[in-house]
């Protein structure tokens, strides 16, 4: 949404751009390889990864970022071995139990996006409690994408629109936007993927239309505040044209 509360879209309007991204979206990849390099079980990498989340959230608050969106578990990650999936769910529950008070004290609003119906009742309950507790916080919105897929998001938005418009035959871009999971955030300015792969892996497909894409070989458990600074310095060098020529951008 724009500050006026109207839905916005980078393909319809040219957003205001500043040196500090308003919204950073991250694929936190490389936990398994980090553990393997140390001859540890994969879950050790995930545990270290959670600690990095804490550090990066704090760094984003200090940098004045408004929205941080983290990909924690994709709709395709269910394909992993059952014991890894259940350990990831356990870690997610633990993090909600242990970290939410601190987030709240720091003025952070927590949101979980994704198909939550597949989670067990306890996890769904923890999610609801955390979202309700932190709903009024304004300093930073931390969105965690869990059982999230970009295609799922577009389809659930489309289906929700159809429910609200029985007999509707045509949907517009601005018609769909309010139904997407990230409707109340500006589109990401900066996307970061750690772990060296250069792909989107079904993350925010719609919202990344004009996002600057930063890929680093650094594994997520090694991605510290300095690495975040490096990504933001790279971002400051980008020329965001949104379809225009460079000359037009400089005329303003
Ligand atoms: C990212 O790290 C965490 C999740 C997908 C949950 P990975 O577990 O994918 O780590 P690699 O890619 O195997 O190193
Ligand atoms: C993407 O990482 C999902 C998350 C980080 C949660 P993956 O490691 O699952 O991605 P692929 O399968 O290598 O593309
Ligand atoms: Mg991976």
Is 19 annotated as catalytic? no
**What pLDDT sits at residue 252?**
66
Q: What is the pLDDT of residue 7?
A: 57
Output the CA 197–ligand 3 centroid distance in Å: 8
What residue ranges in the chain does DSSP mark as E strands?
Answer: 23-27, 67-74, 108-113, 140-148, 190-193, 212-215
Q: How far is CA 221 from the centre of its chain?
A: 17
Q: State mean pLDDT over 190-208.
A: 98
Span 122-173, pLDDT tens digits: 999 999 999 999 999 999 999 999 999 999 999 999 999 999 999 999 999 9
Q: In the predicted model, what is the mean pLDDT of residues 75-102?
A: 98
User: Which ligand places an atom closest to the C-alpha of 46?
Assistant: 1
Ligand 2 near 220 CB (within 6 A): no
Around 128, how many Cα atoms within 13 Å sit in the side-chain half-sphere?
A: 9
From 13, 19, 31, 77, the catalytic residue: 77
State the pLDDT at residue 3.
46
Segment 13-21 mean pLDDT: 94
Phi, psi of 174, rounded to the nearest 5 degrees: -70, -25
CATH architecture of the domain 23-154+188-251 equals 3-Layer(aba) Sandwich (3.40)
What's the pLDDT band for 8 if we cut at 50, 70, 90?
Answer: confident
pLDDT of 2 reads 47
Every domain of the chain and the residues it spans: 23-154+188-251
Sheet of 212-215, strand order: 108-113, 140-148, 67-74, 23-27, 190-193, 212-215
pLDDT at 76 over 60: yes
Which residue, judged by its Cα, is nearest atom 10 of ligand 2? 201
Does 5 have pLDDT greater than 60? no
The residues near 115 (Cβ < 8 Å, ≥ 6 apart) are 75, 147, 148, 149, 152, 156
By percentage, how much of the chain surpasses pLDDT 70?
97
pLDDT of amino acid 176: 96
pLDDT at 1 over 50: no
CA gap 233, 96 in Å, rounded = 31
> Which of 26, 45, 84 best tests ligand 1's pocket when mutated (most atoms within 8 Å of CB)?
45
29 lines ligand 1 (CB under 6 A): yes
The reply to whether ligand 2 has any atom less than 6 angstroms from the CB of 192 is: no
């Amino acid at each position: 949404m724009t500050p006026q509360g109207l839905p916005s879209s980078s393909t319809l309007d040219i957003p205001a751009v500043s040196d500090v991204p308003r919204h950073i979206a991250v694929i936190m990849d490389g936990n398994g390889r980090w553990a393997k390099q140390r001859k540890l079980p994969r879950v050790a990498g995930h545990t270290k990864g959670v600690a990095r989340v804490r550090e990066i959230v704090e760094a984003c608050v200090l940098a004045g970022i408004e929205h941080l969106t983290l990909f924690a578990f994709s709709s395709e990650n269910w394909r992993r071995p059952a014991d890894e999936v259940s350990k990831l769910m356990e870690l997610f529950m633990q993090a909600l139990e242990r970290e939410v008070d601190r987030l709240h004290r720091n003025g952070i609003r927590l949101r979980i996006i994704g198909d939550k119906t597949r989670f067990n009742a306890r996890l769904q309950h923890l999610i609801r409690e955390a979202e309700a507790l932190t709903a009024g916080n304004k300093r930073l919105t931390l969105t965690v994408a869990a059982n999230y897929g970009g295609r799922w998001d577009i389809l659930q938005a489309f289906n929700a629109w159809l429910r609200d418009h029985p007999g509707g035959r045509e949907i517009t871009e601005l018609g769909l936007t309010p139904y997407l999971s990230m409707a109340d955030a500006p589109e990401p300015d900066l996307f970061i993927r750690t772990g060296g792969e250069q792909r989107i892996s079904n993350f925010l497909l719609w919202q990344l239309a004009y996002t600057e894409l930063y890929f680093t070989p650094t594994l997520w458990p090694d991605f510290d505040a300095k690495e975040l600074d490096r990504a933001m310095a790279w971002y400051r060098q980008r020329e965001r044209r949104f379809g225009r020529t460079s000359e037009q951008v400089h005329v303003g």
